[in-house]
Structure 1
Amino acid sequence: MTNIYIESVRMAWSSIVSNKLRSLLTMLGIIIGVSAVIALVSFGYGVRSDVESNISSLGSNQITIIPGSDNGPGARGAAGSMQSLTYKDYEAIKLLPNIDLVAPLVSKSYTVVNGNKNWQTTVYGATDEYMEISDLTLQSGRYWTDEEYNKRSRVAIIGQTVATNLFGDESPVGQKIRINNQPFTVIGLLTAKGYSFMDQDDRIFCPFTTVQERLLGITYVNSIVVSSENDDALSQIQTDVTNLLRTRHRISAKDDDDFTVRNSQELLETMESTTQTLTIFLGCIAAISLLVGGIGIMNIMLVSVTERTREIGVRKALGATYHMIIVQFLIESVTVSVAGGLIGILVGCGIAKLIPLVTSMTTVISPLPVIGSFLFSVIIGLVFGIYPARKAARLNPIDALHYE
């Protein structure tokens, strides 16, 4: 019995080789389908990887509190549109358990000037804790001192994008810039962090006290950032922060919060779910071409049955059984799909590797879509080969021998 299967495989391969162009065109649907599944799913995984990397670079163990409610109607509903967070809220949050670092933050967009050069960027008022939470390191220069922080000194630490546009190749450390027509001394240059939802190098950091009082002249804060080393504690911290601020702001049970608490873990889970749905959608769209390839296999196998009617009659006359004829044609069908699947894997992986080289997009090749698309192509060959095989096996040997 084993010899029958081996001989069937040899005959199938011989048929493919002897009709190279027809075989290639038959495989084309499978090749396109398998390669499309691998390339598109790899692109989807790449998008997912980029999103996870971007969120992680911003901090995957953070909670951000901003003024304004997401639930309220009209203008009140715009998160961040109110002035409901204060420095005392920040001091109260610092006393909550499970929290490692807390930092208040204020910010505003300004045109920053150096000589005859100017650049529009965002100026942040931050504390030492925020610099640590955001993992902001210096390429050159230094951080501000406690004395400079307490005296509201006009000192600034700038990002690489700001430095390039204001100073070119010259070192900015020790140089003067003007923010809102006020002179600031550049004391540090941040290490480049790249693009993550925004250009993380296009910003300026100054002491929180300096920006809040000297530049903005406000008593409230724009946001409060909380960090914990224990990711599992973020949900509890979020609940504690919400309860604390509702109590401090004297919000009754029937009223909405006048603040919004955002958990970076929830954002990460939401984005992962979205990109996973996108990946599955792309894979399903690509898999449709595999079905088209299956139809092509069925079509060529039906043609093959017609062309080989006399051969089938001879085989039956010599004792070939219904089972043998079925097996022969199914093996031929599966051989075509296996060959197409293997070529499709090579093409798909090649495309996935090529995309990052010619574009800024990232791709991640995973074994799952590679193995899955190949197995699906084999199943396609098997399923779409059944009808032609049954048709061949049911031929009457006498009628087949007389077929012209």
Structure 2
Amino acid sequence: MLIGETIRVALGALRANKMRSLLTMLGIVIGVSAVIAVVALGRGAQKAVNDRISSLGTTLLTVSPGQARSGGVMSFDVRTRLTMEDAQALVERGTVLTAVQPEMSSNLQIQFLNKNAGTQVVGTSANFPEVRKYEMEAGRFFTQGEDESRQRVAVVGPTVWQNLGLQSADGIIGENIRIRGIQFLVVGAFKSKGQASPFNNPDDQVLIPIQTARFRVMGSNRLRSISVLAPSEAQIPETMADIQKILRREHKLRPERPDDFQIRNQADFLNTLGETTQVFSMLLAGIAAVSLLVGGIGIMNIMLVSVTERTREIGIRKALGATKINILFQFLIEAVVLCLVGGAIGIAVGAGGAMAFTKLLGWNTEVGSSSVVLAFAFSAFVGVVFGVYPARRAAKMDPIIALRYE
């Protein structure tokens, strides 16, 4: 029997049992579409993180409280705090830095007319837009004078005014909101920066002058972080050394004592978050790939049933001159075709699902060609692996016994 005829016989057998073939492919379709969609979500999240960090600028350094070790146990205490005095010391004594932007924050309820919304209230300095690369959608940012005089002014992110039921940023400019019962005048609204992660949405925050936050809202001198701009990428090591020297002196740390603060640049954040999202994506893809394994087992079961049902057909083919290789090849083709067609449908469904996530839920997704090729190749591999045993069983049948089979 020629190869072309063997292929026609195999495809004919699949067409003759359309419903069974469709149900057999279903496991592969679900598995491949799940893998494609999950990997697309992972790639989209990683791209969003990269874009978010890149938008902050490559010369941005972030100083945050460290951990003090006491008796072999890591703990936060007074020595690990960053304060306004630390930020002021950097401003006054820093020699290799362009800007210093301290910030403190707290999750609070804000009130506008009869609506309430929970958001992150951030106290920061007037150079926040310059340091963090934010742009205004409407209005303006508060000035250094308003900060020094502890004015009750606020700038909101787009998620905030949306949560308050407004249709545009202009609708909140000049209006009053209440934070902890204190009235603030909204003077500006930011453009969207995009959500970097489910746990950190830069669009969902209200910014107020740091002196106002310190004395009127939060009643604390403790900072969440201090952002510092280096003059250039080449001078980042010098800037980090300058920050370290100033803060160690400010915290009165002896030479043998480790730093009680951390200095991170954007490359550190990019690598850390990139590795995290990659591991998370691989974990989800691995879980989704289990359904491919289940689909492969389903194909093997159906092919075994098909071999049993077509015992007499196999006997007749062998009696007419078909060799073991012909029979093996025929059933192997059936299994591989089921997997490849199921894989192609799964790729289309997975890509469509990823697009639906983007349009309906606003999630970042990116379907990569590598994931499509890998899913398609894995489908073919599953077809070969789980199709070999039923095909060998069919090829080994004794034609005389097969012809007598009822």
- For normalisation by structure 1, the TM-score amounts to 0.79
Aligned residue for 1:279?
281
Once residues 166 and 324 of structure 1 are traced to their aligned partners in structure 2, the CA distance between those partners, rounded to angstroms, is 69
Partner of 2:328, secondary structure, is helix
CA separation of 1:263 and 1:26: change in aligned 2, threshold 3 A: same
**Change in 2 beyond 3 A, CA 1:30/1:149:** closer
Whether the 8 Å contact between 2:138 and 2:173 is mirrored in structure 1 is no
Amino acid at match of 1:344: G
Q: How well do the aligned residues superpose, as a CA RMSD in angstroms?
A: 4.0
My pick for the range that moved more, 276-285 or 84-93, is 84-93
C-alpha spacing 1:177/1:271, structure 2 compared with 1 (3 Å): closer
Aligned to 1:318: 320
Q: Following the alignment from structure 2 to structure 1, what is the Cα–Cα distance between the partners of residues 343 and 179? A: 62
Structure 1 residue identity aligned to 2:301: N
Q: Which secondary structure state, in structure 2, belongs to the residue aligned with residue 331 of structure 1? A: helix
Deviation larger for 77-86 or 345-354:
77-86
For residue 85 of structure 1, give the secondary structure of its aligned residue in structure 2: helix
- Alignment gaps of 5+ in structure 1: none
Shift of residue 26, structure 1, vs aligned partner: 1.4
Contact 1:122 1:204 in 2 (8 A): yes
Q: TM-score, normalised by structure 2?
A: 0.79
Residue-by-residue CA offset, 1:184-229 (whole Å, 9 max, x unaligned): 876x4133335641454632344x6777789999999764311247
1:346–1:72 distance in 2 versus 1, CA, 3 Å? same
CA deviations on 1:128-155 (whole Å, 9 max, x unpaired) are: 3x32111233344455677x47974848
Map 1:226-245; keep pairs closer than 5 Å: 226-228=228-230, 230=232, 234=236, 237-245=239-247
Q: Deviations over 1:21-64 (max 9, x none)?
A: 11112112111111111122222223333433444455564212
Distance 1:195 1:223, change over 3 A: same
Letter of the aligned partner of 1:70 in structure 2? Q
Bigger Rg, structure 1 or 2: 1
Q: Which residue of 1 aligns with 2:190?
A: 191
Q: 1:268 aligns with which of 248, 262, 270?
A: 270
Q: Which amino acid aligns with 1:124?
A: G
In 2, are the aligned partners of 1:40 and 1:282 still within 8 Å (CA)?
Answer: yes
Deviation at 1:351, TM superposition (A): 1.9
Q: Partner of 1:158 in structure 2?
A: 155
State the match for 1:256 in structure 2. Answer: 258
Moved more, 236-245 or 161-170: 161-170
The answer to whether the 8 Å contact 1:46/1:364 transfers is yes
Aligned length: 392
Which amino acid is 1:273 matched to? E
In structure 1, the residue corresponding to 2:191 is in which secondary structure?
coil
From the superposition, tell whether residues 361 and 325 of structure 1 become closer, same or farther in structure 2 (CA, over 3 Å).
Answer: same
The structure 2 residue matched to 1:71, chosen from 24, 48, 68, is 68
SS of match in other structure, 2:27: helix
Written as runs of structure 1 = structure 2, the 5 A alignment for 1:4-403 is: 4-57=2-55, 61-66=59-64, 68-73=65-70, 74-76=75-77, 79-80=80-81, 85-93=86-94, 95-96=95-96, 99=97, 101-107=98-104, 122=121, 124-128=123-127, 130-142=128-140, 148=145, 152=149, 154=151, 156=153, 158-159=155-156, 172-173=173-174, 188-193=187-192, 196=195, 197-200=200-203, 202-206=205-209, 223-228=225-230, 230=232, 234=236, 237-247=239-249, 249-403=251-405
The alpha carbon displacement at 1:230 in A equals 5.0
Bigger shift: 109-118 or 353-362?
A: 109-118
Whole-angstrom CA distance in 2 between matches of 1:89 and 1:133: 15
Aligned-pair CA distance for 1:363: 2.5
Report the Cα distance in structure 2 between the residues aligned to 1:221 and 1:389, rounded to whole angstroms: 69
Identical aligned residues as a percent: 36
Query: Alpha-carbon deviation of 1:360?
Result: 4.1
Q: CA deviation at 1:78?
A: 8.0
Q: Which residue identity lines up with residue 159 of structure 1 in the other structure?
A: V
Cα distance change on mapping 1:345 and 1:170 into 2, 3 Å: closer
Q: CA deviation at 1:182?
A: 9.3
Q: CA deviation at 1:239?
A: 4.2
1:343–1:403: structure 2 CA closer, same or farther, 3 Å change rule?
same
Cα separation, partners in 2 of 1:319 and 1:157, compared to 1, 3 Å: same
Residues 309 and 183 (structure 1 numbering): CA distance in 2 closer, same or farther, change over 3 Å? closer
Spell out, residue by residue over 1:354-375, the C-alpha distance to the aligned partner (whole angstroms, 9 max, x if none): 2234434332212222221111
Could you give the per-residue CA deviations for residues 278-315 of structure 1, whole angstroms, max 9, x where no partner exists?
A: 11111111111212222222222222222333333333
Shift in CA distance, 403/224, structure 1 to aligned 2, threshold 3 Å: closer
Distance 1:79 1:250, change over 3 A: closer
Q: Give per-residue Cα distances to partners, 1:71-99, cap 9 Å, x unaligned.
A: 34444178536666141323323x12xx4
Q: CA deviation at 1:383?
A: 1.2
- Residues in 1 aligned to 2:401 and 2:77: alpha-carbon distance in whole angstroms: 85
Q: Secondary structure at the match of 1:361?
A: coil
2:300–2:387 CA contact under 8 A, matched in 1: yes
1:341 to 1:241, Cα distance in 2 relative to 1, 3 A: same
